[in-house]
Structure 1
């Protein structure tokens, strides 16, 4: 009888995660996370790939973090090879929340430079969390290749990721501050200023950096 009840609960939760009403999906994800069950892992991961509502995706991620990493991480690593950008992005986001460094080898250069901005941003955040000691410099070098990319939020995400790595970013930062591309220079200068004064804010830093570049000033302040 208990097994039959469990099967009924599984079916009910699965249907809830697919309901047309976002509030129903949110409650279903909350219920699954509150009472973790290995049978839900595949369903949660699959739903992450297609869920249109941000707050529901966040609850799906939370529900996954409530399950053992030994069950969730291998399944999430499979998603990193998906052709669906949201599947890759959400898997990376969830891996960053789980924080299991065994996932590090899967954070490839291809993901860190993914053509989809959301995937790349998620990869940057995950990489900063998962990078093993001693490999920060190599990660900084790859991240620096993305200077000047995308809109405000993408640039801010990259700067935050780099700043979180600490002093190891300085060689890559200095090189980017003399790059021929003015967008790269401005972004690198803004990141350097943000690293020195996090309270200044990125918007202020990027505007100041643009002025420096426009005036033909040095890549670094003397």
Structure 2
């Protein structure tokens, strides 16, 4: 079969077939009496093998090695191709995200597009100072909430993250993306998302996502959500706030938050005393007793009177001292 016919039937251009010949990759085994290249059935089969391997992303050099070297290990090559493909897909995904972010800014001309690109590059800079300056600029620019959320979820520096949360507070939107991130398998991403949700206006619907985070497996996520909801007077946070007191994690802040909720004081006292009675650790019991001191009302006073006879001397004395102060 002559080169023109091979090109027509295989879809490989005559120019590429000549290139394959020059490389020794697919050489026609015959020549016509006029000197034209003539491909045998075996040559055509090799050409099909070459094209099949190229479709996997192999270079021409690797194709030649795969076909001609007896000791060539295809498994290692396939592993490399998988890694290369995954990296290309990740790069394409990042590019697509960046394009959506630019589109979301609503640029009307090339100047606006270039400004958005510059700002997006800055918030992802390797230099934290550059990222922080960009975050502060983003608060007044047209950068979308979604772009800010993406930068925030990837931000390890607390100062930069604070600037990004400030910028996000000035932008409507972003809640859906934060809600998805609050359920991310990575606890670091969940912490960043919940911290951002805690800073969002309480009328935005963030509270429902924060309530779900009260049952998170990560104690930091639970704490961030509980403190935020407690400040908003959400009763669902009470149990987690009491546990924060018990373990000594932001216990003073948690006690102060519980003390503000006078309408639910009786239930809070009951939960505190139940938790206290279930823990033999003196330090835990002392923290819970001190938390009772912050709770207003008769229920807390009665609980302190009863704890004045506690078997643990430190707990009893603390309760007595607090009770006497409350009685004045």
Query: Shorter-normalised TM-score: what interval?
Result: 0.7 to 0.9
Q: Note if 1:75 corresponds to 2:171.
A: no
Q: Note if 1:56 corresponds to 2:160.
A: yes
Q: TM-score, normalization: structure 1? A: 0.73
- CA 1:165/1:114 → structure 2, altered by over 3 Å: closer, same or farther? farther
| Counterpart-to-counterpart distance in 1, 2:260 and 2:188 | 25
Post-superposition shift, 1:142?
4.3
Paired position in structure 2 for 1:199: none
Which runs of 5 or more residues in structure 2 are unaligned? Answer: 1-106, 297-310, 324-328
Is 2:286–2:315's contact at 8 Å kept on the other side of the alignment?
no
Which runs of 5 or more residues in structure 1 are unaligned? Answer: 197-211
| Counterpart-to-counterpart distance in 1, 2:245 and 2:195 | 21
Is 2:211–2:229's contact at 8 Å kept on the other side of the alignment?
no
Paired position in structure 2 for 1:215: 314
Structure 1 segments (4+ residues) deviating >6 Å: none
Q: Deviations over 1:129-188 (max 9, x none)?
A: 445xxx52x432343344422xx5543443344334345232222323333332432221
| Counterpart-to-counterpart distance in 2, 1:56 and 1:175 | 42
Is 2:226–2:237's contact at 8 Å kept on the other side of the alignment?
no
Matching of residues 74-153 of structure 1 within 5 Å: 74-101=176-203, 102-108=205-211, 111-131=213-233, 136=235, 138-149=236-247, 152-153=248-249
Q: Secondary structure at the match of 1:114?
A: coil
Paired position in structure 1 for 2:258: 162
- CA 1:161/1:118 → structure 2, altered by over 3 Å: closer, same or farther? farther
Paired position in structure 2 for 1:203: none
Q: Secondary structure at the match of 1:76?
A: helix
| Counterpart-to-counterpart distance in 1, 2:255 and 2:224 | 13
Paired position in structure 2 for 1:190: 290
Q: Deviations over 1:9-42 (max 9, x none)?
A: 111111111112111000000011122432xx22
Q: Deviations over 1:58-106 (max 9, x none)?
A: 00100100001xx122222121111222322222222222223422222
- CA 1:42/1:31 → structure 2, altered by over 3 Å: closer, same or farther? same
Give 1:8's match in structure 2, choosing from 100, 108, 114: 114
Higher relative CO (Cα under 8 Å, sequence separation at least 6) belongs to: 1
Paired position in structure 2 for 1:33: 139
Is 1:80–1:88's contact at 8 Å kept on the other side of the alignment?
yes
| Counterpart-to-counterpart distance in 2, 1:218 and 1:140 | 26
Whose Rg is larger? 2
Post-superposition shift, 1:56?
0.6
